[in-house]
Amino acid sequence: MSALGHPHRRPRRRHPVTDTDTARAAELINATGARDWSQHQARQLHTQALHELHTVNPNPPAAAHLTTLASLIINRQH
């Protein structure tokens, strides 16, 4: 245990997160390239998962549902 408390517990905020806080966090994530990197990783994992799915000869309707679900998740817009 650290001097700051439990090592896995975040300090509590003294005020609620504002829209300004959220916008600033998004700016920082974009500025560091983290968003692009994570989207690239997600696309690679999506491709790999679909390949693996089809190598096990899944039930066609189930495979179609899983493929649709994965595509919706990977391509969702905020």
- Condensed to tens digits (0 to 9), the pLDDT of residues 10-27 reads 777 788 999 999 999 999
Share of the chain above pLDDT 70, in %: 90
**pLDDT of 53 over the 60 cut:** yes
Q: Other CB atoms closer than 10 Å to residue 19's CB: what's the count?
A: 7
CA 23 vs. chain centroid, Å, equals 18
**pLDDT the model gives residue 8:** 73
Mean pLDDT within 40-51 = 96
Q: Residues with Cβ < 8 Å from 1, sequence gap 6 or more?
A: 7
Q: Which amino acid is at 33?
A: G
